[in-house]
Structure 1
């Protein structure tokens, strides 16, 4: 079902304010690595009167902008914590929907490689993704294999991570 609040753009363009902010950020020291924990998507959806899954979809589209911002400031590595091992305690429907969303976003990554849009970002999945659906595990392995030699940027996607162990 199409999310009424979120339309994924095929190409992300920064706004004037984002360009201004990244220009100011480049004036200082550039971080080598930025890490983001995806949190608050369910609260966002509920506050907007949307289904929970629409909040997760909205959160995933924010990542397009984050990736552009970090490249614009010159940061080479980004880690996003997308699904903790604790998230498996959610309803089966929500877990299945989240796994499907991760699968679709991984497909977007493959399409970006095929189209030549991504030739410079290595994508690695970290965590213990053994409990993930077989089709997602295959997709993850494919994304990592295809992008393993891409440079200079690196995206780490933490899937089924814990606070104790991420690799």
Structure 2
């Protein structure tokens, strides 16, 4: 009896593994087919509905967050297979700090566990993804800060796409902090007031520090970036919110100016591959109009800029994937070639300060 039961269990396990392998292959084929059309370079997700998911199943809130974390692992693999350069996820807003102390402690414990496991997750390893944590880390408990900096250090030299985890983040705080950095740069003489334009503000938004190439690493303790090939994080192309809510909740307010907004009725732990396909198809339907709007904005912003910069910006600022011939514009949304040497120097110094803090360089 024991032998028969063991054989039956082995057969069930083999069938399950075969079915999983077949589903994985089918998903990859579908994603490759989608890549023949316009695909989003930067996907942002508001992961909403974990608590409702747990409540409807009479579970603790922490179990809902755990189920949501598993969905994030799957979404990262799908997004990177699709060809996205950045996946930004709204993991924890400063508004979430108003929850009960018990739930916050459980949530912080889960965040620590997920950050510690993220560096070794299948999607990060397979696609050599960089993990970055954006937001006001100083407002988070020390254990969360330590876990965030540890996973950033562990994946700092990876050359693949970026998984941008927003913790203690709000879009308004991001804009205010970026403008404050520029103001301080002018006040300290690192930057001229005439150099403080929109491109410099963009350079100071959360996440941009991970778009510098690593130029020096000292036994994993010190990594500095070079400003010669530095570029800002691409603007959001597709912003998805789950749970049926139709609001942005102060997320990516600056970055999502020309994003396709897709609201999905499923709770976040229930978000499936077919929901992902639906969202990408909605983006592809809107891609042409979004491209035109972004190009029009770029032309308007370039009024008054030296002519030698206008042509480069016309390509660099649009930041699109051409719908007709499927060619990818190999330029980021804002390049250091379009701003002054003093502004480049200011950005480089700022990157060194941020990098030093992550690596605790004194």
Give the TM-score category using the shorter length.
Answer: 0.7 to 0.9
Number of residue equivalences: 154
CA distance in 2, matches of 1:121, 1:16: 21
Q: CA deviation at 1:106?
A: 1.1
TM-score between both structures, scaled by the size of structure 2 = 0.40
Name 1:126's counterpart in structure 2. Answer: 134
Counterpart of 2:144 (choices 136, 142, 145) is 136
Which one has a larger percent strand, Structure 1 or Structure 2?
1
TM-score between both structures, scaled by the size of structure 1 = 0.82
Q: Which aligned pairs between 1:8-87 and structure 2 lie closer than 5 A?
A: 15=24, 18-87=27-96
Cα gap change, 1:61/1:92 in structure 2, threshold over 3 Å: closer, same or farther?
A: same
Secondary structure (helix, strand or coil) at the match of 1:49 reads coil
Query: Would the aligned equivalents of 1:119 and 1:150 in 2 still touch at CA under 8 Å?
Result: no
Secondary structure (helix, strand or coil) at the match of 1:79 reads strand
The runs of 5 or more residues in structure 2 that have no matched partner are 1-19, 175-205, 207-362
Matched, 1:108 2:108: no
Cα gap change, 1:118/1:105 in structure 2, threshold over 3 Å: closer, same or farther?
A: farther
CA distance in 1, matches of 2:91, 2:99: 14
CA distance in 1, matches of 2:67, 2:141: 23
Name 1:5's counterpart in structure 2. Answer: none
Secondary structure (helix, strand or coil) at the match of 2:36 reads coil
Secondary structure (helix, strand or coil) at the match of 2:173 reads coil
Deviates more, 1:42-51 or 1:23-32: 23-32
What RMSD, in angstroms, separates the aligned Cα atoms of the two structures?
A: 2.3
CA distance in 2, matches of 1:92, 1:149: 36
Counterpart of 1:92 (choices 91, 94, 101) is 101
Q: CA deviation at 1:99?
A: 0.8
Q: CA deviation at 1:131?
A: 2.3
CA distance in 2, matches of 1:27, 1:34: 17
Matched, 1:155 2:172: no
Greater RCO (CA < 8 Å, at least 6 residues apart): 1
Larger radius of gyration, structure 1 or 2? 2
Deviates more, 1:44-53 or 1:91-100: 44-53
CA distance in 1, matches of 2:127, 2:44: 22
1:36-91 deviations in Å (ceiling 9; x for gaps): 11111111111122111111111111011101101111111100110000000000
CA distance in 1, matches of 2:125, 2:74: 15
Secondary structure (helix, strand or coil) at the match of 2:125 reads coil
The runs of 5 or more residues in structure 1 that have no matched partner are 1-11
